[in-house]
Structure formats: structure tokens, C-alpha cells
Structure 1
């Protein structure tokens, strides 16, 4: 059973490090994206949250407001590149600028038996690449002009433990390796006041870690969860809220010297 931490977990400090800043988080209706959004709001950022589910987004916006900040829910199909760009522009227009972008949307499309190398469905390969890699391009392409205009920018792309290693499903792993390349290339090509980093979670209690779904690969949900937990030093599955402090740091002014980096919060995954 997975449960998201309450908004109070991210209680706003006396002086927020992100007061006055505006953030956009894609894939923010639940799990890691939700934790990122609440973490940013807890430091004073106004946050626009994007996903396909209006109900989930409204719950996150409620949490943002509970923390004393302002939120905006934008329902977007992130398989539509132009729609991502429009939503980012809409968020900037609503709040009067844009400082922080978390390209977090991702996951797995299709039956897992259709995603292994010998039997991979061609269309699903393209769709999984788009969901996990190309979406980050579209979000960044829309956000960068606003960041240049405002003189401040933090772009954080969500990678994976499989962004640096083999062992994952091929379309997902290829896309997440691509996120690392996108991050490093972009870091060279933006003004100094903008940083671009890749945040890599390990196994985390989210919808992506659907143990019943993963059971098809290893025999049972219990075996899937046990196998995942065994892959890191701490021998456990992390909770989404544990990822927020590092994500917030990458968004803050004091992270100005951190760019082009691949940073993991994963319990020591396959070290």
C-alpha cells in the first residue's frame, strides 16, 4: 500500500528560500512529482502542476495552498508536445514569469511483456521514448525564454537508476540515458544564471513501482518488491517525500554552481 505524505510534511519555514519564485512541475498529480511540488511550495514557490488528472492536481494545489503558497492546476496530455509548451507558457503568464522547471513526467506505456527486447512493440518503443525523454525537451524549450528574461533558471530533469546503468526495459532505459545526454548538452548552451541537472530516483513507492504489474517479469508481486529492495545499500524502497529536499536544493539560489550533474537519491542503488 503506497501513501503520499501529507502537505504538513513539507511545512513552510519562517523564511522560504524560494519566496517569489515560480515553478512548473510536470507529472505532478501524485508520487514524486507531487512531492517535488509540495517541497517547492514549502519553501515559498508558487507552483503550477501539470498532469492528465484534474482530481489529483486539485488535491496537490490544495496542499500547496495549505502551505501558504499559490498553486495552479493545468490538465495536460504530456504525450502532446505543443500542449506541454502551451501549458508552460500559460503558467508563466498566470504567475508573471517562470524560474523553475521540473521535467518529471514519465513512466511505462504498455504491457510489460511487450517491452522486452525480443518482443518489443515498435509503436510502444516510440511512445515510451516520447514520454520519458521528448517531454523534457518540450518543457525546456518553452521555459527557457522566460528564464532568460527573468535572469534566473533552474531546470531539473527526472532520470532514473536506469539512466546510468543497464538492466531496465530497453525503451525506458534508452529514454532515461537520453535524459542524461539532454541535461549535459543543455547545460553547455544556456546562460550562466540557468542551471540544468538530472535528478535520479531509485525504487520509490509510486504508481510506477506497481508490484502487481511487475510480477509478470519475476513471478509475483512479493518477489518484485523484494528484488527491488535488494538492489540498494539500504535494502528498502524509498518514499517520495524523501526525494524532495535534494530537489528543492537544486531549485534554490545556493545551487548556482551545480549544473550538468546527475544526482541520485536512491538509497545507494547498485553502487
Structure 2
């Protein structure tokens, strides 16, 4: 889809590494100008350098998505610098730590994970929607999870990722009259720093090799996907080819728990 995003401005959160980085690079290769954000300046600078090295244009915005004002910052930067935002990828997510046991866990651990994975996506989307409405065009892509469709993680993470599906569908209804689409793209087991088989194995008292083998067995393709495999679908949804797709939950996961 080379050139399919020419002239567009895309914002990708959590773009310093993993899936967010891969999507940012994919959108840049399709011609988009990209604003990348995360909490780590060094990682963002590396992404910007990679995009610039390929002839693209990008800006890094350091922001903590768990803070409302900072979550809105990358969209504001895009509008300030280029006067528009055409694509928003709400990729930031993960666990904020703490005790997530539903019987003994603390409420702040639950709320922190909800804020990072769900509420932050609302804040960023709310910042992007008015300029998208004004220009009569926009694409919002929320990055969900296998836990968006089934019980697959902690109570907080699964609740947040399920909530992201509801947010996607309701925003899609509200935004459709203004030429804006909203979709949820769900990975499964993917080779990122968040998938730490040593840590997962230690928590279950098994070997890292066994933990990886069990993860691979979760997928029909019997493998762990690479982050770059999510990028083509994200680019398609962001392009004019994705105009008729909205309110959908789309998996690129190797057939996770079919």
C-alpha cells in the first residue's frame, strides 16, 4: 500500500517499541507524516531516525498516557505542527503492576491498568475527534488484545481490553456522520518486550521453553507473531481502502484460541 497515506498525518501512541513502533514505521512507509509518543525519549528518537532515514517525516512527543493532559499532547502537537490529524492509533497499553487478584488485590492496581489501557484511549480520541470532524475525515485504530474477546489475562487488563471494544463501537456510531472510522485491531501472542516468557514461566513454576510452547499452542499457526505483521492491516484501515470498515474488531493473531 505504498503511497496510500500520502499527505496524511498519523499519531501513534506507545510507539517507542514493539507493535506501536512497527505501525509507525508502516504508516511512514505508506507516505504518512507520523507523530510518535511514549514515555521514553531515546526509543522515540530511534523511531524518528529510522523514519527520516527512509525519507519520511516524523516528530517525537514524550508523554505518559496515564496522565490526561499528557495523553492529549501528541494530538495537539500534530495539529499545532501540521494543522491536522488524520489517523490516531491508540496503541499504548500494558499492566501498571500491583496486586490484581480479584480477592485480595488493591483497587488502585485495577484502576491504574484501566486508565492506561482504556481511559487513555478515550482522552486521546476525544482530542482527535474535533479536528477530524472539521476536516471531514479521520481514522481511529484502537489496539486491543486476545483479552478483548475472551478471559485471557488479569481481571483489570481483560476488563480494560473488553471496554476498548465497547469504546470502539460507540465511537464508530458517533463519528460515522463525519467521515471518521473507528476500529479495534487485536494481536495475540506477539514478540514484544511485554511478552516475557521468563517472567510468565516463573509465575507458573514452569520453564520458559514450556511457557513459550504453550503460547504457541494457543494459536492455530503454532507460532508467536512479529510486531510488523500488524502494520499492513493498520495501514489498510487508515487508508481510503478502509473507508467502509468501522466499528469492527479485527484480529491479526495467527488464529489465537480459535
Q: TM-score range by the shorter chain?
A: over 0.9
Equivalent residues in 2 for 1:255-270, closer than 5 Å: 255-270=242-257
Task: Report the equivalent of 1:228.
Answer: 215
**TM-score normalised according to structure 2 size:** 0.96
Deviation at 1:213? Answer: 1.9
Distance 1:77 1:84 in 2: 6
Task: Report the equivalent of 2:197.
Answer: 211
Distance 1:172 1:155 in 2: 21
Deviation at 1:121? Answer: 2.5
Range that drifts further, 204-213 or 32-41: 204-213
Contact 2:133 2:178 in 1 (8 A): no
Distance 1:213 1:52 in 2: 23
Equivalent residues in 2 for 1:83-98, closer than 5 Å: 83-98=70-85
Structure 1: any 5+ residue segments left out of the alignment?
1-11
Q: How many residues align?
A: 256
55, 59, 69: which one aligns with 2:56: 69
Deviation at 1:119? Answer: 3.1
The alignment status of 1:110 with 2:97, answered yes or no, reads: yes
Deviation at 1:76? Answer: 0.4
Distance 1:22 1:40 in 2: 9
The alignment status of 1:59 with 2:35, answered yes or no, reads: no
Task: Report the equivalent of 2:111.
Answer: 126
**TM-score normalised according to structure 1 size:** 0.91
Deviation at 1:69? Answer: 1.4
Distance 1:134 1:222 in 2: 35
The alignment status of 1:49 with 2:4, answered yes or no, reads: no
Q: Which runs of 4 or more aligned residues in structure 1 lie more than 4 Å from their structure 2 counterparts after TM superposition?
A: none
Range that drifts further, 74-83 or 49-58: 74-83
Range that drifts further, 146-155 or 207-216: 207-216
The alignment status of 1:177 with 2:162, answered yes or no, reads: yes
SS in 2 for 1:234: coil
Task: Give the aligned CA root-mean-square deviation in angstroms.
Answer: 1.3
Contact 1:47 1:72 in 2 (8 A): yes
Deviation at 1:192? Answer: 4.3
Structure 2: any 5+ residue segments left out of the alignment?
none
Distance 2:41 2:151 in 1: 35
Contact 1:108 1:208 in 2 (8 A): no
SS in 2 for 1:118: coil
